[in-house]
Amino acid sequence: DIQMTQSPSSLSASVGDRVTITCRASQTISRYLNWYQQKPGKAPKLLIYTASSLQSGVPSRFSGSGSGTDFTLTISSLQPEDFATYYCQQSYTTATFGQGTRLEIK
């Protein structure tokens, strides 16, 4: 099974900061990597699919990059509503999620 490793597991940042979260796959997954945002008590929300495509309705401050085994999610200028937990997920074979990155207010 493909394992997904996110880093960091938690992150403190301020409004306006640029933030990067990384995700590494245990084997190549081409560009079949998706990013989700989850807020407490809510279902995950799709942000980025196939590594770098922005889901409709998602602000352009969110961007993704990478291919093969290494991927990044970048938030260019943090807004108050961005403080949440972020998950990567591979869709190369069935599905595997990373362990999550909790983004907290500094």
Residue numbers at the binding site for another protein (CB under 8 A): 1, 32, 34, 36, 38, 42-46, 49-50, 55, 87, 89, 91-92, 94-100
Q: Least distance to another protein from the beta carbon of 51, Å? A: 11
Tokens representing 13 are 């940042």
Q: Least distance to another protein from the beta carbon of 65, Å? A: 16
- CB under 8 Å to 81, separation ≥6 — which residues? none
Instruction: Decide whether 17 or 52 has the Cβ nearer to another protein.
Output: 52
Contact (CB, 8 A) for 86 and 19: no
Instruction: Decide whether 17 or 67 has the Cβ nearer to another protein.
Output: 67
Question: Taking the CB of residue 11, how many other CB atoms lie within 10 A of it?
Answer: 17
Residue 72, amino acid: T
Q: Least distance to another protein from the beta carbon of 101, Å? A: 10
Residues paired with residue 92 on neighbouring β-strands, in sequence order: none
Instruction: Decide whether 3 or 12 has the Cβ nearer to another protein.
Output: 3
Q: Least distance to another protein from the beta carbon of 61, Å? A: 19
SS3 38: strand
